[in-house]
Amino acid sequence: MNNICLIINTVSKNSDIWEPFFNRIKHHSSEDFFNNKYVFVDDDLSKIPKEYNIIKYDSSGTYKEQFCSCIKQVKEEYGIYISEDYILYGDIDEQKVHKFKKILTEHASLSFVRFMRGGVYDGPFEKFLDELYYVPQNKDYFYTNQAALWRTSDLKKIHDAGPNLHIANKDWKNSFEYQATKTCNELNIKGVFCYYNEKKRGLYHYDSSVFPHISTALVKGKWNMTEYPKEMSKIIKEYGINIKKRGWT
């Protein structure tokens, strides 16, 4: 048993992005790579491919409440956690992901391996092993919803203990993603990121050769054409997306 699952958190208002998102996962991963694929969602269940395990949440709750109600149904020991606007544009490096899983198995102190370097800090970063570096525990955004391989029990633990907030707010310091760093520090959560000299993309991200994806395809509800002009243009053309409906940035 592979014991790696895919965990997708989405919302039905973004169902217009589901077709390219799900199609690209199918195209860029081998059929037996994921032991299970889960979708946490509020509605529009018929639009989700049949091979996914759909776990419905109550849309009236906060992000924390929604996620906690769903993650407890995930049984795999390890999970890749992503959102629906992380659209792949290249094959997942499954060999490296298996290597990362082995590292998590051998190092109980680590909770995750992030698939990309963040752009908030320039470093220097403490090296863990080979092309893996520790995510600084004493900085903002230690916890962030970037694509990563997680020890599922630790992902659940962070959300159980974390603030009862939505994932993002206009008051960004009052959001789960920002406040959960404090929770991680209290739980002494440690993690690493991989960096293979990929190029920087915009202000806050680097590309990922392990999980090549658009991060993120939507910025404040609009298509992210500024940071991913080539990749987004291809998706818009391939899937006949009317870019004027959402607009673009």
Q: Where are the domains of the chain?
A: 4-243
Two structure tokens written together for 186: 């209290």
pLDDT value of residue 138: 87
Mean pLDDT for 207-220 is: 96
Lowest mean pLDDT, pick from 51-55, 84-88, 116-120, 231-235: 116-120
Strands 132-134 and 190-194: antiparallel
Mean pLDDT for 148-176 is: 93
5 confidence band (pLDDT: 50, 70, 90): very high
Residue with tokens 């217009």: 16
Q: Are 44 and 12 in contact (CB under 8 A)?
A: yes
Mean pLDDT for 75-81 is: 98
pLDDT value of residue 49: 97
How far is CA 223 from each of CA 33, 168, 218, rounded to the nearest angstrom?
29, 18, 5
Mean pLDDT for 100-119 is: 97
pLDDT value of residue 171: 82
Two structure tokens written together for 230: 């080539």
Two structure tokens written together for 169: 């707010």
Mean pLDDT for 60-70 is: 97
Q: Is the pLDDT of residue 172 over 90?
A: no
Average pLDDT in the chain: 95
Amino acid at position 127, single letter: K
203 confidence band (pLDDT: 50, 70, 90): confident
Q: Is the pLDDT of residue 105 over 70?
A: yes
Angle 176-187/152-161 helices, nearest 10 degrees? 110
Two structure tokens written together for 142: 């230690």
Q: Is the pLDDT of residue 164 over 80?
A: yes
CATH 3.40.50.720 fits 4-243, yes or no: no
Q: Among residues of the chain, what percentage have pLDDT more than 90?
A: 90
1 confidence band (pLDDT: 50, 70, 90): low
Q: Among residues of the chain, what percentage have pLDDT more than 70?
A: 100
2 confidence band (pLDDT: 50, 70, 90): confident
193: nearest Cα among 113, 98, 136, 137 = 113
Q: List for the chain the helix, strand, coil content (%; round to 5).
A: 35, 20, 45
Q: Is the pLDDT of residue 76 over 80?
A: yes
For 134-151, b/e burial (b = at least 16 CB within 10 A) is ebbeeeebbbbbbbbbbb
Q: How far is CA 249 from the centre of its chain?
A: 21
